[in-house]
Amino acid sequence: MRFQLKTSSFSLLFVLTCFLPSTWGSATEPVVVYAKKIVTVTGKTILDGMILCVDGKIQAVGQAGEFKVPANAKVIRGEVVLPGLVDVRTCVGLSGILNFEHDSDQLESSSPLQPELRAIDAYNPREELVAYIRNYGVTTVHTGHAPGELISGQTMIVKTVGDTVESALMVDGRAIAVTLAEASTKSGKASPGTRGKQMAMLRSLLIEAREYSAKVAKKAAVKEPAPSEPDKEGKEKSKADEPMARNLKLEVLSEVLSGKKALLITADRAQDIASAIRLAEEFKIPLWLDSASDAHLMIPQLKAAGVTVLLHPSMARASGEKENLSFQTASKLREAGIPFAIQGGFEPYVPKVRVVLFEAAVAAAHGLSFEAAVESITLSPAKILGIQDRVGSIAVGKDADLAIYDGDPFEYTTHCTGVVIDGVVVSSESQ
119-174, pLDDT tens digit by residue? Answer: 999 999 999 999 999 999 999 999 999 999 999 999 999 999 999 999 999 999 99
Is 191 domain-assigned?
yes
Is 230 domain-assigned?
no
Is 219 domain-assigned?
no
Is 237 domain-assigned?
no
Q: What is the domain-level CATH number for residue 414? A: 3.20.20.140
Contact at 8 Å (CB) between 292 and 273? Answer: yes
For residue 99, the model assigns a pLDDT of: 80
Contacts of 93 (CB under 8 A, 6+ apart): 122, 123, 124, 125, 127, 129, 130, 141, 143, 158
Can you tell me the distance from the alpha carbon of 244 to that of 184, in angstroms, rounded to the nearest whole number?
A: 32
Can you tell me the distance from the alpha carbon of 402 to that of 200, in angstroms, rounded to the nearest whole number?
A: 45
Determine the average pLDDT of the residues in 23-50.
88
Can you tell me the distance from the alpha carbon of 219 to that of 213, in angstroms, rounded to the nearest whole number?
A: 10
Q: Would you place residue 241 in the very low, low, confident or very high pLDDT band (cuts 50, 70, 90)?
A: low
For residue 9, the model assigns a pLDDT of: 37
CA torsion sign for 368, 342, 161, 10 is negative
Is 210 domain-assigned?
no
Can you tell me the distance from the alpha carbon of 254 to that of 193, in angstroms, rounded to the nearest whole number?
A: 26
Whether pLDDT at 39 is above 80: yes
For residue 188, the model assigns a pLDDT of: 87
Is 127 domain-assigned?
yes
| Tens digits of residue pLDDT in 103-113 | 899 999 999 99
For residue 26, the model assigns a pLDDT of: 57
For residue 341, the model assigns a pLDDT of: 98
128 bridge partner residues? none
**Least confident segment among 38-52, 135-149, 348-362:** 348-362
For residue 285, the model assigns a pLDDT of: 95
For residue 100, the model assigns a pLDDT of: 83
For residue 349, the model assigns a pLDDT of: 81
Q: Would you place residue 409 in the very low, low, confident or very high pLDDT band (cuts 50, 70, 90)?
A: very high
Average pLDDT, the chain: 90
How many CB atoms are closer than 10 A to CB 172?
16
For residue 64, the model assigns a pLDDT of: 95
Can you tell me the distance from the alpha carbon of 311 to that of 268, in angstroms, rounded to the nearest whole number?
A: 10
Q: Provide the residue range defining the domain that includes 376.
A: 2-197+249-427
Is 215 domain-assigned?
no
Q: Number of structural domains, the chain?
A: 1
Q: Would you place residue 337 in the very low, low, confident or very high pLDDT band (cuts 50, 70, 90)?
A: very high
pTM above 0.85, yes or no: yes
How many CB atoms are closer than 10 A to CB 45?
14
Determine the average pLDDT of the residues in 300-317.
97
Can you tell me the distance from the alpha carbon of 400 to that of 101, in angstroms, rounded to the nearest whole number?
A: 36
Whether pLDDT at 10 is above 70: no
